[in-house]
């Protein structure tokens, strides 16, 4: 049952994501070509058997060798030519299936990326309360990479190997059914072990993915709040939490490595045991046939059976490193499928529900109750009744936590009530189409979220789901690349009007509406003062502009579609008094003819409301207009009096310690945001491409070849040197065993010559059959040790790299984090995508690569010792073999480098969308987000076919050259045997040794994608370490950083590097002649000779208009920046 479920799971994976006819056609052609590519080699085995009969005839007919030599050579030449023809056929089919399966993996990964993000965007916001953005990044990076690796060319190779296996047994039964029947009994054992091992590998891979996603979530949250982390020195504590989750993932990885080692060892044991049985029984059959008057078989036929079955079992054993990739792919898909298949409770993209053509804008709450799904035991709203008449101004006030913002969330259907009913123009809100009902609403939140695009695009987002019929014709331009292209033109210095006219009347109309809305929101003045105006990029979550500017942009975004209902949730909380007054006048001017719902703390802003609802602990305390409520002298009057007292008395004693901490945190969060004029961040934003702009950036770290892997791994391996030595020792045995097998094989087949006596043949069969069984035992332990030890080292290194990447990211200063092209999601890719790429170069893969390398060296040495004349000629093709493999690595490596930014940017888009899911939902930006996501991957998607064709050609050439080496070996070897230079035994040792090496080297280059991805990842990580090493005061250096990361180091940092003060003491702060300019704007002084003296125990307030430098002072005291001149002295230091 488990096997059936696993096969079904993999089948579902291959057909996941709504494949097109092209995808299905590619899959079918890939399957057929892979199956066809497994057929030629068993047929070549038949020819090898016939050649062996010819060699035996030459050897036994010693007295007539000279006369019959040309005849034998002609016969051998015709068979060699047949081998070449079969090799060409195999080359074509291999090339086709490699191309098809590589394309299949790339397209499947693309489909799943889109389906995953698409379905996440459909989910109700409450779903993400327990699904942090870091997990999204982990899925879009690590899991997609695992799926692509497990559904690409390696599937074709495995199908080809399976076809080889089946064809080999068909040929074997035709040639010698009794011997084949004996050997087929080992097949069930092989498959049972494959599936049992695969089950445990898949299990541990899934657990690894879960723990890694938890760690990624910690890193994502920390990077998104880098200001707070650095201000409070929380990076060490967060690193401890991060490393704890990674340690749990590493523990599962070690279990997986052990499972892989056991599986590999058993598979090799079965393969070599089969060889021993084949030679033992085959020798008996040959002994009978060689000296029989009417033989039922020939030595060549028996050799064909043994040869192809040995190669079949060997080939299946060599696909073992791929099995865990398939299991990991299924495990990753199952994790993603939980989100892909989930039905949304509030689907803003669906077509169900009643659609209104127009709306008056009246809301009514009837006995509405609500609890957040993440806190079901806390009642937020308790059977409230509110009437919000159409075309009237309703204000909702109350203390923090009273449920005010929850009301706005229910109106916009970010949530549905748990009890009661909400009516919109007399219709139950839950019966209306979600997208349609939102089209009548304009929402401005207290902390508005802007997307990492231009100011023009952010304001235009309000038009995407506009109910205004005049805006319907604009949808194509709004959802296409026109606006991002226009923003790019503005950053190039073009005039807004001229650039818009070039892109058509729809774009001109959009620009006009955007400008009008910006004027109403008092945003046009500061926008036009920027160097690139409306083309200026705002950064992730709008972090590159001030809080007040964000609120004005959000207000313009809400006003641009002229909504029937305007919802203002603390819409002016971040503005200074003058700006707030201008906004309030603008709102008053546009309020007529529409419904306005205001949620406010500043009661002075809602005194003119038609109805004021006062909330307290989820209930309605009272409601009425301002005059009535003041006359009642109830809760509202008390709130008004408290605010009046707070604004006139100046009694700062009312601010308790908790509020002081909150004020400090608010100040830290606002650091570097108060920049009305052109700031460092805006300069950087203007230079950086917006998310919607499809520009490819050069990678930060150039290609350094495979040497970068050695450079990166070398210091990391030092702490694990003993385990590495054990792993290398096991790999040497595994690699050398193939040459040992060649020696046994050559001596056995040479000893089975009909020239020898029957007793001699049986004796050699018994002896070498036993040798194969001994070799099987050795191979079991060698593979178990090698793969387990390499897996152990690999997991330790990946753990170290991820922890060091986390540490390096948070050792960088604030300026680095806010510089060009860096966003929390793109920086998270160091941990997710690059960490997953290094994990893809797992222990089994490393062990395989090393053992194959050992095998090549051993084969070259052995063949030169045994028959150097044959070896020299055959090895002349090895440079071509290596060259094809190197070219494949080069092609893949260049592709990775060219599109590194595109993949990072796509994940950035996904993470940003989930982080801003309430904004995405309220504005119905799901389709727009998906379009931008697709455009971000346009570059790599277009080049995938070209790269696949080139890489597959290189890999197919390696397989073809392997067969060519064998054909050349037989042709040249036959000449040497006929000439009497070498014996048949010597020839067979050389041929078998070179044959195995060619097969293994061909398979090794199937791992080229993993090598290429790991190389690029290591280059990026080393670049990160080197970039920050100068400012880390010797704590991190490129040469010793990885070596220093250990379990003790990570667990000890929290206590050694984070001393806590024993108590709170008053301190003095002096700013002496401070001169400061942001590095990207050195000609604009932010602070010019500032002197401030804050005495111990005193309370100092910094006031002034936006851009005066208040938050810059806090940032300098926090050492987030360093002044150009002057000094900051704390307690005289």
Q: What is the mean pLDDT of residues 923-951?
A: 83
pLDDT band, residue 1040 (cuts 50/70/90): low
- CA dist 831 and 258 (Å) reads 25
* Model pLDDT, residue 671: 36
pLDDT higher at 777 or 982: 777
* Model pLDDT, residue 41: 84
- CA dist 75 and 54 (Å) reads 8
- CA dist 134 and 286 (Å) reads 65
Paired with 174 in beta bridges are none
User: ∠ CA 931-935-937 to the nearest 5 degrees?
Assistant: 125
Contacts of 803 (CB under 8 A, 6+ apart): 239, 242, 243, 246, 1045, 1050
Instruction: Please answer whether residues 28 and 159 qualify as being in contact, where contact means their C-beta atoms are separated by less than 8 angstroms.
Output: no
- CA dist 609 and 596 (Å) reads 9
User: For residue range 546-589, what is the model confidence (pLDDT) as tens digits?
Assistant: 777 888 899 899 999 989 999 988 877 666 667 677 777 777 77
Q: What is the mean pLDDT of residues 1095-1115?
A: 80
Token pair 């996440």 in the structure block, residue: 120
- Report helix, strand or coil for 442: strand
* Model pLDDT, residue 389: 92
- CA dist 424 and 426 (Å) reads 5
Q: What is the mean pLDDT of residues 827-856?
A: 74
Domain 20-201+254-345+706-898+945-1026 class, CATH top level: mainly alpha
Examine the pLDDT at 1095 and tell me if it is beyond 70.
yes
Of the chain, the percentage scoring pLDDT greater than 90 comes to 17
User: For residue range 980-1030, what is the model confidence (pLDDT) as tens digits?
Assistant: 788 888 888 887 787 777 767 766 666 666 677 777 777 778 777 776 554
- CA dist 553 and 540 (Å) reads 14
Contacts of 118 (CB under 8 A, 6+ apart): 926, 930
User: For residue range 507-525, what is the model confidence (pLDDT) as tens digits?
Assistant: 999 999 999 999 988 889 8
Domain with CATH 3.40.50.300 in the chain: 445-562, 1069-1130
User: What is this structure's pTM?
Assistant: 0.69
pLDDT band, residue 1045 (cuts 50/70/90): low
* Model pLDDT, residue 925: 92
On average, the pLDDT of the chain sits at 79
Q: What is the mean pLDDT of residues 32-57?
A: 85
Buried-state track 983-1013, b at ≥16 Cβ within 10 A, e below 16: bbbbbbbbbbbbbbbbbbbbbbbbbbbbbbb
- CA dist 1003 and 314 (Å) reads 12
pLDDT band, residue 73 (cuts 50/70/90): confident
pLDDT higher at 798 or 134: 798
* Model pLDDT, residue 505: 93
Paired with 595 in beta bridges are 565
User: For residue range 669-710, what is the model confidence (pLDDT) as tens digits?
Assistant: 333 333 333 333 333 333 333 333 333 333 344 445 556 666
Most trustworthy range by pLDDT among 138-142, 251-255, 1057-1061, 1110-1114: 251-255
Domain 1069-1130 class, CATH top level: alpha beta
Domain 445-562 class, CATH top level: alpha beta
User: For residue range 616-648, what is the model confidence (pLDDT) as tens digits?
Assistant: 989 999 999 999 999 998 888 888 887 765 544
pLDDT higher at 1027 or 243: 243
- Report helix, strand or coil for 515: helix
User: For residue range 389-428, what is the model confidence (pLDDT) as tens digits?
Assistant: 999 999 999 888 888 889 999 999 999 999 999 999 999 9
Q: What is the mean pLDDT of residues 774-778?
A: 91
Domain with CATH 1.20.1560.10 in the chain: 20-201+254-345+706-898+945-1026
User: For residue range 378-395, what is the model confidence (pLDDT) as tens digits?
Assistant: 899 999 999 999 999 999
Most trustworthy range by pLDDT among 81-85, 269-273, 676-680, 892-896: 81-85
- Joined together, the tokens standing for residue 952 give 């597959």
* Model pLDDT, residue 52: 78
> Pairing relation of β-strands 595-599 and 1069-1076?
unpaired
Instruction: Please answer whether residues 48 and 303 qualify as being in contact, where contact means their C-beta atoms are separated by less than 8 angstroms.
Output: yes
Examine the pLDDT at 204 and tell me if it is beyond 60.
yes
Residue 1076, φ and ψ in degrees, nearest 5:
-145, 135
Instruction: Please answer whether residues 1000 and 314 qualify as being in contact, where contact means their C-beta atoms are separated by less than 8 angstroms.
Output: no
- CA dist 610 and 766 (Å) reads 103
pLDDT band, residue 653 (cuts 50/70/90): very low
pLDDT band, residue 135 (cuts 50/70/90): confident
- Tallying the residues shown for the chain, one arrives at 1133
* Model pLDDT, residue 76: 80
CA distances (Å), origin 537, targets 33, 351, 488, 691, 729: 49, 34, 10, 9, 56
User: For residue range 586-620, what is the model confidence (pLDDT) as tens digits?
Assistant: 777 777 778 999 998 878 888 888 999 999 989 99
Examine the pLDDT at 464 and tell me if it is beyond 90.
yes
User: For residue range 701-738, what is the model confidence (pLDDT) as tens digits?
Assistant: 444 555 666 666 677 677 778 888 888 888 889 888 88
């Amino acid at each position: 049952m488990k096997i059936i479920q696993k096969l079904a799971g993999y089948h579902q994976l291959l057909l996941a994501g709504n494949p097109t006819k092209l995808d299905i056609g590619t899959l079918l052609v890939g399957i057929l070509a892979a199956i066809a590519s497994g057929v030629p080699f068993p047929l070549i085995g038949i020819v090898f058997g016939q050649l062996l009969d010819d060699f035996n005839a030459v050897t036994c007919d010693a007295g007539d060798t000279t006369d019959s030599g040309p005849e034998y050579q002609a016969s051998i030449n015709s068979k060699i030519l047949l081998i070449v023809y079969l090799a060409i056929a195999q080359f074509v089919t291999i090339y086709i299936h490699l191309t098809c399966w590589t394309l299949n993996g790339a397209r499947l990964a693309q489909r799943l990326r889109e389906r995953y993000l698409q379905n996440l965007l459909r989910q109700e916001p409450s779903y993400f309360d327990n699904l942090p953005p870091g997990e999204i990044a982990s899925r879009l990076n690590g899991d997609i990479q695992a799926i692509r690796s497990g559904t690409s060319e390696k599937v074709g190779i495995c199908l080809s190997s399976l076809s080889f296996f089946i064809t080999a047994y068909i040929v074997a039964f035709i040639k010698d059914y009794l011997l084949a029947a004996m050997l087929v009994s080992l097949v069930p054992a092989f498959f049972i072990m494959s599936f049992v091992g695969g089950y445990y590998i898949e299990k541990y891979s899934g657990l690894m993915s879960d723990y890694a996603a938890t760690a990624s979530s910690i890193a994502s949250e920390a990077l998104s709040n880098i200001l707070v982390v650095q201000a409070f020195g929380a990076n060490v504590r967060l690193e401890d939490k991060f490393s704890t989750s990674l340690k749990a993932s590493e523990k599962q990885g070690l279990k997986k490595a052990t499972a892989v080692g056991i599986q590999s060892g058993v598979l090799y044991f079965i393969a070599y045991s089969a060889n021993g049985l084949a030679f033992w029984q085959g020798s008996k059959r040959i002994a009978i046939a060689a000296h029989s008057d009417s033989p039922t078989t020939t030595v060549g036929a028996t050799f064909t059976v043994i040869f192809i079955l040995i190669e079949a079992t060997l080939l299946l054993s060599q696909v073992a490193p791929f099995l865990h990739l398939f299991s990991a792919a299924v495990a990753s898909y199952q994790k993603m499928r939980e989100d892909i298949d989930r039905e949304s409770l509030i689907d803003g993209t669906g077509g169900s529900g009643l659609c209104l053509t127009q709306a008056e804008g009246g809301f009514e709450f009837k006995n509405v109750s609500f609890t957040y799904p993440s806190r079901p035991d806390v009642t937020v709203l308790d059977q409230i009744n509110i009437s919000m008449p159409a075309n009237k101004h309703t204000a909702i006030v109350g203390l923090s936590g009273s449920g005010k913002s929850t009301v706005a969330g229910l109106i916009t259907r970010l949530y549905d009530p748990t009890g009661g009913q909400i009516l919109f123009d007399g219709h139950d809100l839950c019966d209306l189409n979600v997208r349609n009902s939102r089209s009548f609403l304009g929402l401005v939140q207290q902390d508005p979220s802007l997307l990492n695009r231009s100011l023009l695009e952010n304001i235009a987002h309000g038009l995407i789901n506009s109910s205004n019929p005049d805006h319907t014709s604009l949808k194509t331009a709004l959802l296409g690349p026109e606006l991002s292209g226009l923003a790019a033109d503005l950053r190039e210095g073009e005039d807004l009007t001229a650039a818009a006219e070039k892109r058509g009347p729809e774009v001109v109309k959009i620009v006009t509406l955007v400008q009008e809305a910006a004027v109403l929101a008092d945003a046009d003045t500061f926008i036009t003062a920027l160097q690139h105006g409306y083309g200026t990029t705002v950064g992730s979550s709008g972090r590159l502009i001030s809080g007040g500017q964000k609120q004005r942009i959000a207000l313009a975004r809400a006003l641009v579609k002229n909504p029937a209902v305007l919802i203002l949730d603390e819409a002016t909380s971040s503005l200074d008094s003058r700006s707030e007054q201008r906004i309030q006048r603008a709102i008053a001017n546009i309020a007529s003819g529409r419904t306005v719902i205001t949620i406010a703390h500043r009661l002075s802003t809602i005194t003119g409301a038609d109805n004021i609802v006062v909330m307290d602990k989820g209930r309605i305390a009272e409601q009425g207009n301002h005059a009535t409520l003041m006359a009642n002298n109830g809760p509202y009057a008390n709130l008004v009096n408290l605010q009046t007292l707070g604004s006139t008395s100046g009694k700062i004693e009312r601010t308790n310690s908790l509020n002081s901490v909150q004020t400090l945190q608010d100040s830290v969060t606002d650091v570097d945001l108060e920049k009305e004029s052109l700031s460092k961040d805006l300069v950087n934003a203007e230079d950086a491409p917006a998310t919607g702009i499809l520009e490819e950036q050069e990678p930060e770290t150039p290609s350094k070849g495979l040497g970068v892997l050695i450079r990166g791994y070398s210091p990391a391996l030092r702490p694990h040197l003993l385990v590495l030595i054990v792993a290398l020792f096991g790999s040497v045995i595994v690699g050398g065993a193939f040459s040992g097998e060649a020696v046994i094989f050559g001596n056995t087949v040479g000893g089975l010559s009909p020239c020898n006596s029957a007793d001699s043949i049986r004796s050699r069969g018994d002896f070498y059959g036993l040798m194969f069984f001994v070799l099987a035992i050795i191979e079991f332990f060698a593979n178990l040790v090698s793969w387990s030890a390499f897996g152990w080292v690999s997991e330790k290194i990946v753990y170290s790299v991820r922890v060091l990447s986390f540490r390096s990211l948070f050792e960088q200063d604030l300026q680095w984090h806010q510089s060009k092209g860096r966003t929390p999601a793109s920086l998270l890719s160091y941990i997710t995508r690059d960490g997953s790429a290094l994990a893809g170069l797992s222990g089994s893969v490393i062990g395989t690569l090393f053992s194959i390398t050992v095998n090549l060296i051993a084969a070259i040495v052995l063949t030169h010792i045994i028959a150097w004349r044959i070896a020299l000629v055959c090895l002349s093709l090895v440079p071509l073999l290596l060259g094809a493999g190197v070219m494949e690595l080069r092609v893949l490596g260049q592709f990775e480098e060219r599109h590194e930014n595109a993949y990072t940017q796509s994940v950035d888009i996904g993470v940003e969308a989930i982080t801003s899911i309430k904004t995405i939902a309220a504005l119905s930006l799901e389709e727009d987000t998906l379009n931008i996501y697709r455009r971000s991957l346009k570059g790599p998607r277009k080049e995938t076919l070209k790269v696949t064709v080139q890489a597959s050609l290189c890999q197919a050439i390696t397989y073809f050259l392997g067969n060519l080496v064998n054909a050349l070996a037989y042709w040249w070897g036959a000449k040497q045997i006929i000439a009497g230079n070498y014996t048949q035994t010597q020839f067979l040792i050389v041929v078998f040794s070179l044959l195995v090496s060619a097969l293994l080297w061909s398979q090794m280059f199937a791992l080229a994608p993993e090598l290429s991805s790991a190389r690029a990842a290591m280059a990026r990580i080393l670049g990160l370490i080197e970039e920050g090493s100068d400012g880390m005061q010797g704590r991190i250096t490129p040469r010793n950083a990885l070596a220093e990361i250990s379990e003790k180091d990570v667990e000890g940092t929290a206590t050694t590097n984070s001393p806590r003060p024993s108590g709170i003491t008053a301190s003095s702060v002096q700013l002496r002649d401070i001169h400061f300019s942001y590095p990207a704007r050195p000609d604009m002084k932010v602070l010019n000779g500032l002197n401030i003296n804050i005495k111990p125990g005193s309370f100092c307030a910094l006031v002034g208009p936006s851009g005066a430098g208040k938050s810059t002072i806090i940032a300098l005291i926090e050492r987030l920046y360093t002044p150009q001149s002057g000094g900051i002295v704390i307690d005289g230091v």
